[in-house]
Amino acid sequence: MLHKPATPTGKDPAAAYKMRIGLWMFLFYAIFYGIFVAINLLNPQAMGTIVVAGLNLATVYGFALIIGALLEALVYNMLCGKKEAELAEKPAPGSKESTGKGGT
């Protein structure tokens, strides 16, 4: 049985934008996670410190990492969606709409 893509694929005009945003978000998250690892490596006893509502730093930071990743995903999706919509409104370079040579 031959399975084909559900939607037609082609060149993504927003690919460079998506890559740039994704790399910056990855860098931000990697630094956030790196601090978590550094605390565990350099001062593991600090992770046992109670910080909020009886929860220790390890638990709070762990949840912050998870929530941060989810928020980044939502922001990434929103930004990429806006960029794709913006680029969909603009005619492609060299098309009849952009050169003014087409039509009736």
Q: Within a 10 A sphere around the Cβ of 50, how many other Cβ atoms?
A: 11
Residue 46 forms part of a structural domain: yes
Q: Within a 10 A sphere around the Cβ of 84, how many other Cβ atoms?
A: 15
Residue 93 forms part of a structural domain: no
pLDDT for the residue numbered 9: 72
pLDDT for the residue numbered 71: 96
- Cα–Cα distance, 31 to 68 (Å, whole number): 12
Q: Among the residues of the chain, which ranges form H helices? A: 15-42, 57-89, 96-99
72 is in which domain, residue-wise? 21-87
30-79 pLDDT tens trace: 999 999 999 999 999 999 989 899 999 999 999 999 999 999 999 999 99
User: Residues 85, 90, 93, 96: what is their CA dihedral angle, to the nearest 10 degrees?
Assistant: 130
pLDDT for the residue numbered 75: 95
Say if residue 103's pLDDT is above 70. Answer: no
Residue 79 forms part of a structural domain: yes
Read off the pTM: 0.70
pLDDT higher at 87 or 2: 87
Residue 30 forms part of a structural domain: yes
Residue 59 forms part of a structural domain: yes
Over pLDDT 90: what percentage of the chain?
55
Picking from 19-33, 39-53, 80-94, which range would have the lowest pLDDT averaged per residue?
80-94
Total domains in the chain come to 1
Q: What is the CA radius of gyration of the chain?
A: 22
Residue 16 forms part of a structural domain: no
Please compute the mean of the pLDDT values over residues 6-31 and round it to a whole number. Answer: 87
**DSSP structure class, residue 104:** -
